[in-house]
Every structure is written in C-alpha cells, then in structure tokens.
Structure 1
Amino acid sequence: MASLLQHRGPDGTRSWSIPCRHGGIGFGHTRLSIVDIVGSDQPLYSDNGCVLIVNGEIYNHRDIRESSRNYPWRTNGDGEAILSAYESRSNSVDWLNRIDGIWGFALWDSKTEQLILSRDPLGVKPLVRTLTRDGTLLFGSETKALRAHPQHTPEL
C-alpha cells in the first residue's frame, strides 16, 4: 500500500505494526522531508506508547515546543508537536485546538488502544478511510492505497 504513495514521500518509507486486543494495527508512511530533514523519520514514537504518522505542516510547532519544555523531545520536526499536545491534554478534544497548521494524521495510543484520525479544519491535507467487509479499518492519503489492500472491495 505504501509503495503506491511513494510520489507523496520520496525521502523514505517506514512501517510499524503491533498486535492489539482487536487483532492488530499497522502504519505505513512515505516521507517528504521538509522540517528536520534527517531526524524526523516516521512513525514517531513517544515514551508513553503513542505512535504517530502525519502528512502536513504544523505552523506553531515552535510555540508548542516552547510551552512543553518538560516533554522528552526526540526530534526537531514539526510533527512531534502533535504527540506533545496529545500527551499534555486535559481532556479528549481540546488538545487539537492547540495545533495550527495543515495535517492529516493517525495517532495510536497503546495504553488506551485508541486510534485517532484527524484532518486540519479546512481539509487541506487528505485523509480517506473505509471499512472492509470484516470490519478492518483502512486509511491513507489517497484512495488508491486503500484499493491495494487485499480485503478492500469497492462498493457504491
């Protein structure tokens, strides 16, 4: 699936997967390096068991970094600001209001076994999703990646 998105991120491809209570979860990511060209390969991992892939640009990542000095930053990239905002949240929704930018991201919290899919408020960055007949959630930046999955069956 990720190989079909190579044109979106020619600077590297990585993947991650683990078993979970509902079967398993996996991310694939193709990277276009813009900020922190060397040190921000994705998926990004936190010390608290969160995993993030993001397509986008976080305009206020420096402000989030400045206000989260106790966060154990691993990169100089803008995407890690999403992990910091999520992990310093006071409730389940307001943390997204801290983020200014354009994005489509998937964040897996291994402690709660919750997946968060989010797009920027204007929908500039694409994030498409579908369920297969057996209930598997597929998501990506383009529908052609979803269509490549062996369990995907197109329906009207």
Structure 2
Amino acid sequence: MTQLVRFSPRHDMNRLQRDFDRLFGTFFPGFDEDADQNVSWTPHLDVLETEDAYVLEMDVPGVSRDDIQINLQDGVLTVSGERASREVSENDNVVRVERHAGRFFRSFRLPKKINEQKIEARHENGVLMVTLPKVEESKPRKIKVS
C-alpha cells in the first residue's frame, strides 16, 4: 500500500533558513542569537553592510509600530513584538490559515564596532529597518616636529 505524504515547501524553506543562519553564524559568530524559542513566528531578516553602518531589514507585515519593542542591553539588541490574530466571526468558514499571528523575537549580539548611542529604527510599509552605525575609527595624525 502506498502512503501519501503531504508536500511542504515551507518545511524545506525553514530547514534552508536554519542552515543559512548556521552558516551566517560561522562568519559572524555571536551576531545572531535567537535565545527564546517560545515564539509563534520569526520574521525574515536581511542584514546589509554599508561603509558607515549595518542595516537590519525585518519583515513585519501587519505589525503596528506600537507593537514592536527594541531593547539594547550588554551589547545585545533584541527586537520583539506581537501581531494580533484576525477576528473571525461565527459566520465565517475559515478554509485555510497561512499567516502567522502571535509573538515574535529576534536577538543579535552586536559587533564591538557599533556606536550604540546612535542606533536608529524606523517602520515603513511592513518593514522594520534598524540602522547600526559603525564607530568612526581613529585616523593617525601626523605631528610636525618643530
């Protein structure tokens, strides 16, 4: 007898994301630390590096800026929040649910070259952008001998 197995591309994508996170952690140890596993969903994230900063771009569609918390403690930046679940009336017949609701959490150990006092965040069109400015490196200064 043949068994039918449900095809789940999401399962394969989640495995790929975990593998990518592990690979990313090899090159930037301690940069990404998802310590809390008691979450409903994990927003997708891009990390960009410019000459002056790192930029975290996190997909948080349907999450109000008032429902997002960003904390910095001991060099660890934590982004958390919650997306409210959709109200379903008694007359609605829900056929399929794919959108996640509930709490999310991401935590990142910042590199030492980040100016923690100048970190900025903005929320636009369902994307949270956190800018982590790099510390200006001191440049050698020539001293004239008189």
* TM-score, normalising length: structure 1: 0.24
Structure of larger gyration radius: 2
Q: More relative contact order in 1 or in 2 (CA 8 Å, sep 6+)?
A: 2
Give TM-score scaled by structure 2 length: 0.25
